[in-house]
A and B are shown apart, each in its own frame.
Chain A
């Protein structure tokens, strides 16, 4: 087994362990978004997706 693979996997698992308490707290404490809030979030994200597609078309 490649030591780099084991090292990388351990690093990522350690990050999962570190963010787990913050994730639980965020799920419990963060306010719930309305459909309007989610629309306001999705609008720029769709922009990002289209922009990345444009970049991919540029390098192909």
Chain B
């Protein structure tokens, strides 16, 4: 009897803790996305050079890799996360500025498309409650290969490879959204700051890849 009560109590605690991580993650994600959008607008208005955008991205990734994991368990983690997402948003400045000047409708379509994909995948992971932890290795290898192909294409400049890389990024980031959401549901990720950072990265990469694909197919790229 006591044992059953104890198991029920532990299950209830686990569900409550999962709901809390989910709620905090989505709240922080919406705030960081808003902040990042403001910083992207600043980047577009200032007409940031691609060099400055690259520096902002390098600083953001360095902070994401070396500073965030050390601060994610304290209150310092939140300003660090805002700094990272702000820098990544700022780094979008030149790309956004280009597409806004060529065809603003593409930016809005990519933005809306990213939102629909994120909401759809999150709803799928939350309602089915599937455990997608088996995807970890597959997604990491996929990301590694895509990065290698992107490096090659910097020097080769093959349009078909550029499209293939961006299409692959859309699929891999979609996989990461499913994986990260299922990690939160199944208590694999209990830190909402790290969960937010991971989902934010998936979203920003998804948005950028979708923007490039739509730009290429609209004939404006």
Seen from chain A, the residues whose Cβ lies within 8 Å of a Cβ on chain B are 3-5, 7-9, 11-13, 15-16, 18-20, 22-23, 26-33, 37, 40-41, 43-45, 47-49, 51-52, 55-56, 58-60
Kindly provide the distance from the CB of B169 to the nearest chain A CB, expressed in whole angstroms.
11
* Pair B143/A19 contact, Cβ less than 8 Å: yes
* Pair B214/A27 contact, Cβ less than 8 Å: no
CA distance A26 to B141 in the complex (A): 9
Size category of the B interface is 35 or more
Query: Closest residue of chain A to B65, judged by CB?
Result: A18
* Pair B130/A40 contact, Cβ less than 8 Å: yes
CA distance A55 to B217 in the complex (A): 10
* Pair A52/B134 contact, Cβ less than 8 Å: no
What are 19 A-to-B residue pairs whose CB atoms are below 8 Å?
A4-B50, A5-B154, A7-B54, A9-B154, A9-B155, A11-B54, A12-B150, A13-B151, A23-B143, A27-B141, A30-B137, A31-B134, A37-B131, A37-B134, A40-B132, A44-B120, A58-B109, A59-B103, A59-B106
Q: Which residues of the other chain, A, contact B148 by a CB distance below 8 angstroms?
A: 16
**When A40-B130, A44-B178, A59-B106 are in contact, do A8 and B54 touch as well, CB less than 8 Å?**
yes
CA distance A13 to B155 in the complex (A): 13
Q: Which residues of the other chain, B, contact A12 by a CB distance below 8 angstroms?
A: 147, 150-151, 154
* Pair B137/A47 contact, Cβ less than 8 Å: no
**When A19-B140, A31-B133, A52-B170 are in contact, do A44 and B121 touch as well, CB less than 8 Å?**
yes
Chain B, 108-167, CB within 8 A of any chain A CB: 109-110, 113, 116-117, 120-121, 124, 128, 130-137, 139-141, 143-144, 147-148, 150-151, 154-155, 167
Q: 9 smallest A-B Cβ distances: which pairs?
A: A33-B134, A30-B136, A23-B140, A27-B137, A26-B136, A59-B218, A26-B137, A56-B217, A30-B137
Kindly provide the distance from the CB of A14 to the nearest chain B CB, expressed in whole angstroms.
8
Chain B, 15-29, CB within 8 A of any chain A CB: none
The dominant DSSP class at the A interface is helix
Kindly provide the distance from the CB of B116 to the nearest chain A CB, expressed in whole angstroms.
7
Kindly provide the distance from the CB of A11 to the nearest chain B CB, expressed in whole angstroms.
6
CA distance A57 to B137 in the complex (A): 33
* Pair A55/B113 contact, Cβ less than 8 Å: yes
* Pair B144/A19 contact, Cβ less than 8 Å: yes
Partner of B141, one of A3, A23, A44, A52: A23
**When A51-B116, A56-B213 are in contact, do A41 and B178 touch as well, CB less than 8 Å?**
yes
Partner of A23, one of B103, B144, B171: B144
